[in-house]
Amino acid sequence: MSDETKERVRYGRAQKFQLSPRGSEAVAAYELMLAEARSGSGRAQFDAARASWGAPRGLASEDGLFLVEFGAGDRTIAEAMSNLEDCGTTAKELKAAVDRLLSCGMLQPVAAPPPPPAPAPRRYW
């Protein structure tokens, strides 16, 4: 099935996302890679380390940033966007990353809480 014929799932504004177990493992590996890259020298080594982190997982090198953001807690896309504004991330990039991370099983939607129980009927007598 090609990407053009695949139906895209749409989520509401209040939909929150969280890491899946695979996503948690990827975040742990990303944080380890960051710690090792700090001891290196220069941006080129950092970019190479990010690429080597993402390649075996089928992720883009910038996906680590998005995974770490959703790993901090359940977030909506708007909440994640407000936290990532200073990084120069656009809403379009974030939405594309969320779609990519959902399709590869790194993120999962949070189930909506059950609705509150209906109030007891009023009796007038």
18-44: pLDDT as tens digits: 999 999 999 999 998 888 878 777 788
Element (H, E) at 27: helix 21-38
85-117 pLDDT, tens digit per residue, is: 888 888 899 999 999 899 888 999 988 778 888
pTM for this predicted structure? 0.76
Average pLDDT along the chain: 84
- Position 6 scores a pLDDT of 56
Q: How would residue 1 be classed by pLDDT, with cut points 50, 70 and 90?
A: very low
User: Does the pLDDT value for residue 8 go beyond 70?
Assistant: no
Write out pLDDT tens, residues 58-75.
888 888 889 999 988 888
27, part of any domain: yes
Interatomic CA distance for residues 59 and 39, integer angstroms? 24
Dihedral of CA 7/79/61/22: which sign? negative
66: in domain: yes
If one counts the domains in the chain, the total is 1
* Domain presence at residue 33: yes
Domain assignment of residue 93, yes or no = yes
Q: Is there a domain that residue 96 lies in?
A: yes
Structural domain range at position 97: 17-109
In a domain, residue 125? The reply is no
Does 88 reside within a domain?
yes
In a domain, 10, yes or no: no
